[in-house]
Amino acid sequence: MVSVDAALTIALMGLATYSTRLIGFLAVSRLVLNARATRVMEVAPGCVLITVIAPRFVIGDMGELLALAITVLVAIRFSLLSTVMISVISTGLLRHLLG
C-alpha cells in the first residue's frame, strides 16, 4: 500500500516535470529555430536522462550493467514507450535477482 506522503510526492514530482515541459514549450513555441537549434531541442531530453542515470552504471553493479545492455538492445528495435517499460521491468527484476 502506498502511503499518502509517497503518493503526494509522486504527484508533485509529476506536476513539476510537466510544468517544466509546458514552460519550455511556451517559451520556445514562438521562436523560429534554425535546423541546428531544432536538432539540439530534439535530443536534449535524451541527454538529460543520460546525465541522470549514467553515474549508476560506473559503479560496476552487474544487475545495472545487464539492465543497461537490455535497454540499449531494446532501444535499437522498439519505440520509446516500449523501451522505457522493458528497461524499468528488467532493472527491477535484475536488482531483485542479483541483489
Please state the three-class secondary structure of the chain as a single string: CCCHHHHHHHHHHHHHHHHHHHHHHHHHCCCCCCHHHHHHHHHHHHHHHHHHHHHHHHCCCHHHHHHHHHHHHHHHHCCHHHHHHHHHHHHHHHHHHHC
The answer on pLDDT for 54 being more than 80 is: no
At 46, the pLDDT band (50, 70, 90 cuts) reads low
> For residue 68, how many other CB atoms are within 10 A of its CB?
19
User: If you average pLDDT over residues 17-38, what whole number do you get?
Assistant: 82
Q: What angle do CA 72, 75, 80 make, to 5 degrees?
A: 140
At 52, the pLDDT band (50, 70, 90 cuts) reads low
Of the given ranges (31-45, 49-63, 80-94), which has the lowest mean pLDDT? 49-63
User: If you average pLDDT over residues 36-50, what whole number do you get?
Assistant: 73
Predicted TM-score of the model (pTM)? 0.49
